């Protein structure tokens, strides 16, 4: 009998209306875990190379992690997997809230869809009942309204819902999938894949228990870990202190980040607590990556208005994802200002930055409204903010005019204009129809040199951590199978996750490091690769990234062994993580994607470098970073092809057959 995992997946053919259950076999879980690993294995084996991500052959999967539903702390994530219409390569995204465990309580580790329905539908799993139901009545509604309408139709608020909003229905390539009225699996454009299938929602109410090998051991591990991560409770505002710390980071040598500090910040503020700190220090991009935080968006006048204490004063209650002891989310209510909100999720760092610093917008009312608009529409706030900043610069350069915007003047920092433009993007109205598919597509359509202002990697908009500040992010953005992602690996993540305590090959970062060492490009490959492999294990387990960061030496391997009954070592899990990473890379190679296809624009890596600021004078040597990363993983830097000998070592015979036959 399986433990930790259920041992079953559900395959749904929307074209034929067929639903069947399959059992992948224990070996699949032992080699790939669940989550992204299971999803990548199923889709690599069953989806032909070159398939249209918005076509009938495309497979879209919802997967839970091995630890999801076991009670392990931070284990509430679910993942969405498929071919990305945004990058044309491997796509994945994940979200928290309460949806993830319901997949396993419904009796499955993954639910996969292929084909296309000829009319809007949603899949309902209610105990042992599984059926496709007509969604014509709810099609066209936003994601939050959809959840409420489904509850009304089924007569119970206990159903867990993951749905697309108008952005996914309109096939926006930057759309995602929403659960819990505002948590969103946002990246890779997988909301458009769901929309192309006319699949409005996945609705679950499970009645199965998740099998666990050693429940007592799981409880024991949770208790020990809980004591270690309990942060000091801060009753006073820390905003001023964090801003001051940002100034110090800007001028002093880098000091290693400790998990305890991050834990304190997350507990009190969530990620909104670091906006002014990171803007001041140089990590946060400003004015579409051409500005400087302390000069163009200074803490005393601007960034402090959209950070930490200013955000949480609207917080009515904390939002905890299931099995999370931190509660970094929040539910807000805004009664004053131009954009009142009765109830909405708190904007997090990426949203505050993408609609704030990146657009020179210090109006918090507008950012809270924009966050709500995007959550309802089911559209990625990172990509949407980057698209808006791109449009602002195109307007500044005369590439876009008032004639194109229906009279809206797109000036930097104009909150009202940013809200109006975002509404156009969501609804695909006017210029919004061009922008709704991301900056790469928009630049191709607009031309006139606009590609210089399109900040993306392989089609995916770059997140809100400047790759010139932390070159680990630069590596992740440009060489990972999913480009333009900040939730995989970086120098900061290596410090917080303390990967040297997981793998003997990793080295502990020095307590204090100068600029010369931070910008040494030839010695970062090993740590970056191990960090990436470790995160793949976490994604296969269903763990939250923040859990890995606030806990430092989190007992992930012990949890996995307690749940499954395995006795795998850290070296065993190192191989599993590498296997997951490699099959995702192999997917891209089969799709004809080469490393050069994920190159970021010159501005992003400092060609030419900024003259002032924390990243002044920095040009990132991407070739050295990329080659060293690829060498550690035994991938060819020109073709992206994993070495045959390494594929044999990893037992990826299906990849050898696909790529070497």
In a domain, 465, yes or no: no
Selection from 301, 297, 391, 382 nearest residue 348 by Cα: 382
Residue 568 falls in which region: left (phi positive, over 0), alpha (psi -120 to 50) or beta: beta
The full DSSP string for 472-488 is: HHHHHHHHSSS-S-SSS
CATH number for position 26:
3.60.9.10
389 and 488 fall within a common domain: no
pLDDT at 551: 76
Give the pLDDT confidence of 153-178 residue by residue, as tens digits: 999 999 999 999 999 999 999 999 99
- Is 210 a member of any domain? no
Q: 591: which 2 tokens?
A: 């799709």
Alpha-carbon distance of 195 to 54, in angstroms, equals 9
The pLDDT value recorded for residue 209 is 94
* 28 and 72 share one domain: yes
Distance CA 587, CA 594 (A): 11
Same-domain status, 448 and 323: yes
Q: Give residue 238's pLDDT.
A: 65
- Residues 191-219: tens digit of each pLDDT: 999 999 999 999 999 999 999 999 999 99
Q: Spell out the residues 6+ positions from residue 355 whose beta carbon is closer than 8 angstroms to its own.
A: 347, 361, 366, 367, 370, 371, 381, 384, 385, 388, 418
pLDDT at residue 256, as a whole number:
80
Q: Give the Cα separation of 126 and 558 in Å (integer).
A: 33
Q: Which residue, 422, 454, 486, sits at the end of a domain?
A: 454
Do 279 and 403 fall into the same domain?
A: yes
Token pair in block for residue 96:
């928290």
Asked if the structure places residue 477 within a domain, the reply is yes
Q: Are residues 490 and 389 in the same domain?
A: no
SS3 assignment, position 141: coil
Q: Supply the CATH number for residue 256's domain.
A: 1.10.569.10
Query: Of 190, 205, 220, which residue sits at a domain end?
Result: 205
Would you state the pLDDT for residue 135? 98
Contact 596, 603 (CB under 8 A): no
How many Å is the maximal CA-CA distance in the chain?
67
Alpha helices in 378-481 (DSSP H): 381-396, 415-427, 431-435, 439-446, 471-479
pLDDT > 70 in the chain, percent: 98
DSSP reduced 3-state for 63: strand
Residues 6+ apart with CB under 8 A from 527: 472, 491, 494, 499, 506, 507
Residue 293 lies in a domain: yes
CA 502 to each of CA 113, 256, 467, 498, 572: distance values in angstroms, whole numbers, following the listed order: 36, 18, 26, 7, 12
End position of a domain, from candidates 397, 422, 454? 454
Domain assignment present for residue 460? The answer is: no
Residue 655: domain span: 471-660
CA-CA distance, 642 to 311, in Å (whole number)?
46
Relative orientation angle of helices 570-590 and 525-541, to the nearest 10 degrees: 90
439 part of a folded domain: yes
Same domain, residue pair 502 and 443: no
Residues 257 and 356 both lie in one domain: yes
pLDDT of 476: 98
Q: Which of 360, 462, 457 is nearest to 411 (CA)?
A: 360
Residue 31 lies in a domain: yes
Residue 541 in tokens: 């387990």
d(CA 609, CA 607): 5
Which residues, in sequence order, are CB contacts of 399 under 8 Å at separation 6+? 446, 448, 449, 450
Element (H, E) at 132: strand 129-134
- The structural domain count of the chain equals 3
Segments of the chain scoring below 70 in pLDDT? 1, 231-240, 246
Residues 270 and 417 in one domain: yes
Q: What is the pLDDT of residue 234?
A: 57
Q: Which single residue is written with the structure tokens 């409420």?
A: 148
Q: Tell whether 511 and 450 lie within a shared domain.
A: no
Identify whether residues 377 and 491 lie together within a single domain. Answer: no
Do 549 and 623 fall within a single domain? yes
Spatial CB neighbours of 517, under 8 Å, sequence gap ≥ 6: 510
Q: Give yes or no for a contact between 193 and 82, defined as CB atoms under 8 angstroms apart.
A: yes
**Are 440 and 531 in the same domain?**
no
Nearest Cα to Cα of residue 193 among 64, 46, 88, 39: 88
CB 86 within 8 A of CB 92: no
- Kindly state whether residue 4 falls inside one of the protein's structural domains: no
Residue 240's region, left for phi above 0, alpha for psi from -120 to 50, else beta, is alpha
């Amino acid at each position: 009998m399986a433990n930790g995992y259920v041992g079953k997946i559900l395959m749904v053919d929307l074209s034929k209306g067929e639903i069947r259950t399959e059992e992948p076999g224990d070996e699949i879980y032992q080699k790939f875990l669940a989550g992204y690993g299971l999803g990548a294995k199923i889709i690599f084996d069953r989806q032909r190379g070159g398939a249209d991500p918005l076509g009938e052959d495309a497979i879209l999967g919802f997967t839970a992690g091995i630890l999801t539903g076991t009670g392990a702390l931070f284990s509430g994530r679910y993942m969405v997997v498929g071919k990305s219409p945004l990058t044309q390569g491997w796509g994945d995204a994940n979200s928290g809230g309460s949806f993830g465990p319901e997949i396993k309580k419904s009796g499955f580790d993954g639910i996969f869809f292929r084909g296309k329905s000829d009319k809007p539908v949603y899949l309902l799993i209610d105990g042992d009942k599984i059926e496709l139901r007509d969604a014509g009545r709810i099609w066209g509604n936003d994601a939050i309204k959809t959840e409420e309408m489904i509850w009304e139709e089924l007569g119970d608020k206990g159903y867990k819902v993951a749905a697309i909003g108008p952005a996914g229905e309109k096939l926006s390539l930057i759309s995602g999938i929403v659960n819990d009225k505002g948590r969103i699996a946002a990246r890779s454009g997988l909301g458009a894949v769901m929309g192309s299938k006319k699949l409005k929602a996945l609705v679950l109410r499970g009645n199965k228990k998740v099998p666990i090998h050693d429940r007592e051991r799981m409880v024991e591990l949770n208790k020990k870990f809980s004591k270690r991560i309990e942060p000091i409770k801060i009753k006073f505002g820390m905003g001023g202190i964090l801003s001051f710390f940002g100034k110090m980071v800007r001028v002093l040598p880098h000091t290693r980040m400790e998990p305890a500090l991050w834990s304190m910040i997350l507990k009190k503020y969530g990620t909104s607590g670091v906006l002014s700190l990171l803007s001041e220090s140089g990590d946060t991009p400003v004015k579409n990556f051409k500005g400087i935080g302390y000069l163009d968006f200074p803490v005393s006048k601007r960034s402090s208005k959209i950070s930490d204490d200013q955000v949480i004063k609207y917080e009515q209650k904390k939002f905890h994802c299931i099995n999370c002891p931190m509660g970094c989310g929040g539910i807000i209510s805004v009664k004053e200002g131009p954009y009142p909100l009765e109830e909405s999720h708190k904007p997090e760092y990426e949203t505050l930055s993408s609609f704030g610093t990146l657009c020179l917008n210090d109006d918090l009312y507008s950012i809270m409204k924009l966050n709500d608009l995007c959550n309802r529409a089911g559209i990625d706030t990172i990509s949407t903010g980057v698209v808006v900043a791109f449009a602002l610069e195109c307007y500044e350069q005369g590439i876009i005019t008032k004639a194109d915007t229906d009279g809206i003047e797109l000036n930097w920092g104009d909150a009202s204009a940013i809200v109006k433009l975002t509404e156009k993007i969501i609804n695909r109205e006017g210029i919004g129809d061009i922008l709704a598919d991301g900056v790469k597509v928009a630049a191709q359509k607009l031309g006139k040199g606009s590609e210089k202002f399109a900040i993306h990697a392989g089609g995916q908009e770059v997140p809100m951590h400047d790759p010139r500040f932390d070159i680990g992010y630069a590596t992740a953005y440009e060489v990972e199978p999913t480009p333009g992602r900040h939730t995989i690996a970086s120098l900061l993540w290596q410090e917080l996750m303390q990967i040297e305590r997981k793998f003997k090959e990793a080295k502990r970062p020095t307590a204090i490091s100068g600029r010369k060492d931070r910008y040494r490009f030839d010695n970062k490959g090993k740590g970056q690769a191990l960090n990436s492999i470790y995160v793949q294990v976490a994604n296969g387990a269903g763990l939250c990234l923040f859990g890995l960061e606030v806990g430092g030496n989190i007992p992930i391997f012990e949890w996995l062994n307690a749940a499954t009954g395995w006795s795998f070592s850290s070296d065993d899990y190192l191989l599993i993580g590498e296997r997951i990473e490699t099959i995702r890379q192999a997917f891209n190679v089969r799709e004809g994607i080469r490393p050069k296809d994920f190159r970021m624009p010159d501005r992003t890596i400092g060609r030419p470098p900024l003259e002032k600021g924390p990243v002044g004078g920095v040009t990132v040597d991407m070739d050295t970073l990329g080659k060293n990363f690829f060498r550690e993983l035994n991938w060819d830097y020109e073709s992206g092809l994993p070495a045959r000998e390494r594929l044999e070592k990893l037992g990826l015979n299906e990849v050898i057959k696909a790529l070497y036959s």
